[in-house]
Amino acid sequence: MTSESLRFEHETLAQRVRFAAGGATEALAEEVRRLGGERVMAIVTSRERTAPVLAALPVAVLHTDVVRHVPVEVAERARAVAAEHDADVLVCVGGGSTTGLAKAVALTTGLPIVAVPTTYAGSEATDVWGLTEGGRKTTGVDPRVLPRAIVYDAGLMLGLPVATSVASGLNALAHCVDSMWGPRSDPVDRALALEGIRALRTGLPRIETDPQGIGGREQTLYGAYLAAVAFASAGSGLHHKICHVLGGRFDLPHAETHAVVLPHVLALNAPAVPDLDARMAQAFAADSSLAGLRRLRGRVGAPRSLAELGLAEHDLSAAVAPILEAAPESNPVPVTAEVVETLLRHAWEGTEPDA
Ligand code: NAD
């Protein structure tokens, strides 16, 4: 993993991607037309925010029953609505929860999705679906859930509060970092992830200082897209396994959990892979990747502790065994119970690791 061997297999997922600041309505209508859509099921969380975006579409049904982490019963209700209205294209406008529900419908119906993301979660660029049942989150990979097209319109992000933008942008950054050592990480993934780090490192502080500026939003969207493409190919590394366990078991907010856990995983792994650390440091324009992440987190006011996200101290121990079970073999350092316990404790307390 540490030297760039050029013997690898990489699959590029087939998807149309449009960056169209201020032009989502027309771009979305064109993408739906390309798919021959005449009866669109639009999945959204906010009617007001999304009405102008849907204005040029043949909407058969507007579905707003979206719940985070996609509970199975919510997915079943959405599938029934799609069947009842004889939908032929799914359009989702919203964050990862909204995209996730469209994927759950596509998984069983095969309906094509056009995604219009309004956070930096990146689900729109992956073929990964997730469903939650009885406090347990199940994920899987299926080509049917990969949106056929994505329309990115930075103008739709202006209402995303700065704190949510920061957490979501750091979630995207976590995709980049985990893609450096994920189980299927290859040189193409790492090239995308490094450019993603650079774009997020420049975009996020601009959102902080000018939340209504298109430039910072657009850079961050670009970084988030690259991050998700890299991540879809590289697969979940230790960071994502930890967040997956925490999110599924304790219903913690997705993006904020990623934002808190990331420095702890980076501090654990980066010293064991000095050449990857050096490349990430360059992308962060810092002396080390951790120093770069620390500086960025300080500039944007990142969330710090799992305690502040509502995780009870006594829940920490329950997370250790499932994390150990899920930890990928590819992780740069061996993952023991002690390693996980210490990492979780520091993340819970919000002890910022030394750069
Ligand atoms: P989310 O979709 O729940 O959105 C967070 C909040 O932001 C919600 O309250 C939403 O209504 C609000 N919001 C969204 N866009 C807004 C806007 N433009 N303006 C104002 N408010 C806005 O959270 P998320 O972090 O985007 O996504 C998290 C979910 O996505 C998790 O379930 C996670 O597992 C999933 N996910 C999946 C993948 C994948 O590849 N399958 C990748 C990343 C995330």
Above 80 in pLDDT, residue 59?
Answer: yes
Question: Which residues approach ligand 1 with their CB closer than 6 A?
Answer: 45, 68-69, 94-98, 100, 118-119, 121-123, 126, 128, 130, 156-157, 159-160, 164, 168, 171, 254-255
Strands 89-94 and 113-117, sheet pairing: parallel
Model confidence pLDDT, tens digit, residues 24-49: 999 999 999 999 999 999 999 988 88
pLDDT at 248: 80
pLDDT at 5: 65
What are the start-end ranges of the H helices in the chain?
A: 24-34, 47-54, 72-84, 96-109, 162-179, 187-209, 214-234, 238-250, 254-269, 274-284, 289-300, 316-326, 337-349
Model confidence pLDDT, tens digit, residues 151-161: 999 999 999 99
DSSP 78-110: HHHHHHHTT-SEEEEEESHHHHHHHHHHHHHH-
Which amino acid, residue 318?
A
Mean of pLDDT over the chain: 95
Ligand 1 center to 98 CA (angstroms):
7
Q: What percent of the chain has pLDDT over 70?
A: 99
Above 70 in pLDDT, residue 131?
Answer: yes
pLDDT at 65: 97
Average pLDDT over residues 322-346: 96
- Residues with Cβ within 8 Å of 188's Cβ and at least 6 positions away in sequence, in order, are 8, 10, 12, 233
Ligand 1 center to 308 CA (angstroms):
19
User: Could you tell me which of 132, 167, 320 has the C-alpha nearest to residue 241?
Assistant: 320
Q: Which residues of 3-23 are buried (b: 16+ CB within 10 A; e: fewer)?
A: eeeeeeeeeeeebeebebbee
Give residue 251's pLDDT band: very low, low, confident or very high (50, 70, 90): confident
Q: Token pair for residue 24? A: 């989502």
Burial class of 136 by CB neighbour count within 10 A (0 to 12, 13 to 18, 19+): exposed
What φ, ψ does residue 59 adopt, rounded to 5°?
-80, 120
Model confidence pLDDT, tens digit, residues 191-223: 999 999 999 999 999 999 999 999 999 999 999
